[in-house]
Amino acid sequence: MHMNMNMGLLTLHAGFFVKYVIEGWSLGFPTSFLAIFIPVILYVRGFTRVSEKEHGRPIMFAGGMVILAIPLNSPMMFWSMAYLWVHALIHVLVMIVAPPLIAGSKPWKAIWAGIPTSIKSSKAFTATSKISKAIFTFISEPRVALLYFVATMWSWFIPSMMSFALSSQLGMQLMHFTFVTSGMAFFINMVDSDPYVSRVPSPITRLLHILGAGVASWFAAMFLAFSSPLYPSYAATSIRTLSSLGDQQIAASIIWVLCMEPFFYTGYYNIKLFLARSDDADTKGAFFDPFKPWIKNQTKA
């Protein structure tokens, strides 16, 4: 009898696991269509039309797109409406983890080559590209990009905004759209993404921007960790198996821990870039920076 009870529990747990995996798949239109499927199709199409030097970094591009696609299309989307910690995980993956990988993969030449010539020459494409370029030029201006990033990080944790996202398809898509665009607008200036020219050329200035974004993210995590339950929309969900406070504290931990890695690696990249530029300038006798010896000592330690 004891064995039969254990087998029954095992079957029940297996059933729940299968339910989590196979149910809730969705197509996050239009965000996924615009941010994932079109760029991937164009990149694959343009890959054979450009030289090997213009491929960028295919593995990094694929990794960034997979990290972007899974949260927006998998059952994570469904469970993010039941658990705040899943929402926080999507928040971090889409906004902070995927964008630096995509920007650092330098896929732009291959994507451009993948656009059919007939489309490029059309008036509709010309007009759309001008509008898109103007919008992105504005939101990627360094101060605007940092402000947009911080505002997006914080605004969707306001209880009324969270309720709007959970109760409305428009709200959910708007939230994901701001995740993608704020992340790309910020990180494309924090790494070199040829042929796009970063509007923050100084690695030290980039480090200050990264520090500012990181501090804003960590304050958001602390706000969640030390607050009483904030979101009645989550508390009212019937399929939950976790307390509201526990759910909120796990969400805070995810933001605190997972945000650190992308900020750390982009910061490390810029420290190496700074040292390389300093060494190159030193050999020409045209550069002096008092921070260089200190940074070198820290990296050796």
Distance CA 243, CA 69 (A): 29
Distance CA 80, CA 59 (A): 28
Name residue, tokens 């690696």: 265
Per DSSP, the three-state class of 240 is coil
Question: Tens place of pLDDT for every residue, the chain, 301 residues?
Answer: 444 444 444 444 445 555 556 666 666 667 788 889 999 999 999 999 999 888 999 999 999 999 999 998 888 888 888 899 999 999 999 999 999 999 999 999 999 999 999 999 999 999 999 999 999 999 999 999 999 999 999 999 999 999 999 988 899 999 999 999 999 999 999 999 999 999 999 999 999 999 999 999 999 999 999 999 999 888 877 677 788 999 999 999 999 999 998 999 999 999 999 988 876 655 554 444 555 554 555 455 4
> Which H, E and C letters describe 31-80, residue by residue?
HHHHHHHHHHHHHHHHHCCCCHHHCCCHHHHHHHHHHHHHHHHCCHHHHC
Give, in degrees to the nearest 5, the angle at Cα 58 between 107 and 101. Answer: 70
Domain range list for the chain:
26-293
Per DSSP, the three-state class of 25 is coil
Q: Is the pTM of this model over 0.75?
A: yes
